[in-house]
Amino acid sequence: MHKMFSTNTIFLVLIALLVIMLLFKNTTNYVVAQGDGNARHVFGVAGERQGNRQSFYLVDTAEQTIMVYEYFQGGGLGLVAARNYQFDKKLQEHGKSYGLSIENVKAELSKAQTK
């Protein structure tokens, strides 16, 4: 029972720190909490504060899901978007290319290996 109480206390403190950092953190991409025990695959990242808005990203690696929340000062916390990235990982390319395409990289690697 003592072990369970300690784990719950630590988890409660982590949640409190997460909320405090979510409210007051101004930098981007700062990991603020990660699950313990059975929730090691879930972690949160606070995004950049924009005016009276603060974004918060919750990532569940077991479910392969990203959820985006936004905190509005005086308005509460709300879900903005959610996406399962299971099939996104199978894409070779998507969107605008900002450099060599995958085909060009493969061709360059093939040239280097034949030398």
43 within 8 A of 59, measured Cβ to Cβ: yes
Q: Does residue 58 contact residue 42 with C-beta atoms inside 8 Å?
A: yes
Q: Is the pLDDT of residue 4 over 70?
A: no
Q: Which of 22-36, 64-78, 85-99 has the highest mean pLDDT?
A: 64-78
Mean pLDDT taken over the chain? 77
pLDDT of residue 49: 82
Instruction: Sort residue 71 into left (φ over 0), alpha (ψ -120 to 50) or beta.
Output: beta
Name the H helices within 25-114: 102-114
Distances (CA, A) of 110 to 41, 87, 91: 37, 27, 21
Mean pLDDT of 78-102: 84
More confident call, 99 vs 9 = 99
